[in-house]
Structure 1
């Protein structure tokens, strides 16, 4: 599979480019970026072509990996799907339901494969834990804390305009949902409150299995307090999400494996664009409540069970 990279920012440079370049099952073909000079620099580092035109890159590849802000990603992902290209996408798929649905519609019409990179779903220990807990009945409640220090520590993402605008709800909220939905089922209702420093938000979710979960999300945690924790409690007792022994690059390599397999077999991956749309619907419901656009407690919108 010939794959091109759309994006040249910190995430593209530190995760996507090395993962694609080191992958034996895909051929890293080229780079396009909104800043041509950055695309040239990154392409030269890996000995691939730099493209000044997206359509020229699409003409030379079978798939694209996208490391761009979500609204930019959504538009280019739909464009690539319409061109018949498979999609390796980042979370969140989009920051509006309409944008996310447009991607899914394009994927379905073109019958291309799609995988959205939710990090924990492609790291060995967390992935195995999620699969194991999903097979256990009787979960009563869950507590998830996804606390980043992006705006308080020395993070390369601190200057990201979309993170500054959208905050933790849209940046780390997708990670928490990607862990909880496979275990506790789809979300029927959401309650949201913005109590705490800066972008800190709290969500309460009512799941289709009858379980409930609470989420605390922030990109403004003190560096010493940053981290991600998920705790499940139910008839089987208490279970904690394990940490991962590996970083983003090996996980992205597995996501590329998943894309290749989905393209070859025609079987959708659990983290496909449709799942990305469902995550967007849930986050959009929470966002509406936080910004006064909806009742404090509302249904999370239509969607298949996760």
Structure 2
């Protein structure tokens, strides 16, 4: 049977990526859309000829699984409701606005035993997968570095939470996740800088590996660079992540989500992974705010 997926949210990420990917997916049916803005939900639903649910509960009635495109501060509340209804869920990153919310969400998923998957979009790119699976092992990395330089926070209509916290809570999640995947779990972090400007990260990875991360919000729309490099006894390997979040990556995301739901088994990039990343990012944000 085709998996019926409901979309919760009508923001930029929903409109530009989730909705078109869901509508084009051969592995799923775009069942309905819901938003706290009724007019936005109706407009997006009309564009894709699907139903606009009047309430979140009605959305759950119309679907087998839920794709979330909500602000992180509210995602745990609605995801917990979906978990109680035993609905598999595709979650946005970060999975919550704070660590308490991430822990609440992860517990709800674990208690319900539902499939969860996090939209860590760099990891659904073929380019990034080749880097992790074919290049990194031959390097035998001892450390690495990564950077994100972005003007995305300067775009008109960017939600207030992204302007205030997006450098770390948005771009930082992807950067930490990829360095963590390449070098091993992050077990310690030191951060400095400003949340709306430049942030530097120094990370300790399990079993004696180290990395550095640089995040910079330029304030100039249209500027974007993102890359990660690892170094070791086998040399060096680098991946350019500046263009990897595209339609192909979202197609892979939805295909693998449908497969996970069919098998009834969450992938590695699940709510527990989201919770781990939330621990790291929140520790970094706390240090930046404290000026450590």
Tell me how far apart the structure 2 counterparts of residues 245 and 60 of structure 1 sit (CA, whole Å): 34
Tell me how far apart the structure 1 counterparts of residues 284 and 245 of structure 2 sit (CA, whole Å): 29
Of 253, 263, 285, the match for 1:287: 285
Provide the residue aligned with 1:108 in structure 2. Answer: 110
1:230 and 2:232 matched: no
Provide the residue aligned with 1:22 in structure 2. Answer: 24
Gaps of 5+ in 1: 297-306
**Correspondence list, 1:136-151, <5 A:** 136=138, 138-151=140-153
Tell me how far apart the structure 1 counterparts of residues 212 and 223 of structure 2 sit (CA, whole Å): 18
Provide the residue aligned with 1:278 in structure 2. Answer: 276
* CA-CA distance at 1:233 after TM superposition: 0.9
**Correspondence list, 1:203-218, <5 A:** 203-218=201-216
> Which moved further from structure 2: 159-168 or 220-229?
220-229
> Which moved further from structure 2: 223-232 or 41-50?
223-232
- Do the aligned partners of residues 45 and 291 (structure 1) sit closer, same or farther apart at CA in structure 2, a change above 3 Å counting? same
**Correspondence list, 1:16-55, <5 A:** 16-55=18-57
* CA-CA distance at 1:225 after TM superposition: 5.3
* CA-CA distance at 1:221 after TM superposition: 5.5
Q: Deviations over 1:70-108 (max 9, x none)?
A: 111121112111111111111111121111111111111
Tell me how far apart the structure 2 counterparts of residues 135 and 61 of structure 1 sit (CA, whole Å): 41
C-alpha contact 2:117 2:269 (8 A) present in aligned 1: yes
C-alpha contact 2:146 2:228 (8 A) present in aligned 1: yes
Of 76, 83, 86, the match for 1:84: 86
Tell me how far apart the structure 1 counterparts of residues 65 and 76 of structure 2 sit (CA, whole Å): 15
Provide the residue aligned with 1:185 in structure 2. Answer: 184
C-alpha contact 2:122 2:244 (8 A) present in aligned 1: no
* CA-CA distance at 1:136 after TM superposition: 4.0
Of 123, 131, 142, the match for 1:121: 123
Moved over 6 A (4+): none
Tell me how far apart the structure 1 counterparts of residues 272 and 170 of structure 2 sit (CA, whole Å): 18
Q: Deviations over 1:16-51 (max 9, x none)?
A: 000000001111000001110010010010010001
Provide the residue aligned with 1:220 in structure 2. Answer: 218
Of 245, 252, 255, the match for 2:253: 255
C-alpha contact 2:152 2:223 (8 A) present in aligned 1: no
Gaps of 5+ in 2: none
Tell me how far apart the structure 2 counterparts of residues 270 and 36 of structure 1 sit (CA, whole Å): 35
* CA-CA distance at 1:64 after TM superposition: 0.6
C-alpha contact 1:169 1:218 (8 A) present in aligned 2: no
CA RMSD of aligned residues (A): 2.0
Tell me how far apart the structure 2 counterparts of residues 244 and 162 of structure 1 sit (CA, whole Å): 22
Tell me how far apart the structure 1 counterparts of residues 52 and 265 of structure 2 sit (CA, whole Å): 32
